[in-house]
């Protein structure tokens, strides 16, 4: 992709991916879902998860899987509020950009 992905957009995408699973989802699955639409490395996404956790947008718990603990992330009330704000902002932003990019059609 030729467009840069800013921190806010990455936060919004991660929150959206996590919100899709009521019980939360684990880090590797989050990275795979995000990477299916954006070219980002795992080393970029794990700091995003930690920051969202620190900002009380995600809660974390561990669950045993195959003899190991797997870390799960679940969206919090604050995370839902942030995601809803991002969604509203995205509607406005993407409509404005689309309007400019499609002016000569």
Instruction: Evaluate whether residue 1 is within a structural domain.
Output: no
In a domain, 105, yes or no: no
Domain coverage including residue 64? 7-95
Whether 2 is covered by a domain: the verdict is no
What digits encode the pLDDT tens for the residues 23-41?
Answer: 999 999 999 999 998 888 8
Asked whether residue 46 is assigned to any structural domain, the reply reads yes
9 contact partners, CB below 8 Å, separation of at least 6: none
Instruction: Say if pTM beats, i.e. exceeds, 0.85.
Output: yes
Distance CA 16, CA 14 (A): 5
Contact partners, residue 96, CB within 8 Å, separation at least 6: none
Whether 79 is in a domain gets the answer yes
CA–CA gap between residue 24 and residue 74 (Å, rounded)? 4
CATH of residue 50's domain is: 1.10.10.10
Q: Read out DSSP for 3-17?
A: S---HHHHHHHHHHH
If one counts the domains in the chain, the total is 1
87 lies in a domain?
yes
| Interval 50-91: pLDDT, tens | 999 999 999 999 998 888 999 999 999 999 999 999 999 999
Question: Looking at residue 90, what is its pLDDT?
Answer: 94
| Region 1-16 average pLDDT | 85
Span 40-51, mean pLDDT? 91
């Amino acid at each position: 992709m030729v467009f840069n992905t800013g921190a806010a957009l990455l936060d919004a995408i991660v929150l959206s991916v996590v919100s899709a699973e009521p019980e939360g989802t684990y880090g590797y699955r989050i990275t795979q879902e995000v990477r299916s639409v954006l070219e980002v490395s795992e080393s970029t996404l794990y700091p995003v998860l930690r920051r969202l956790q620190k900002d009380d947008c995600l809660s974390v718990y561990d669950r045993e899987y195959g003899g190991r603990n797997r870390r799960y992330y679940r969206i919090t009330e604050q995370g839902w509020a942030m995601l809803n704000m991002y969604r509203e902002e995205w509607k406005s932003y993407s409509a404005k950009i689309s309007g400019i990019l499609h002016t000569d059609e």
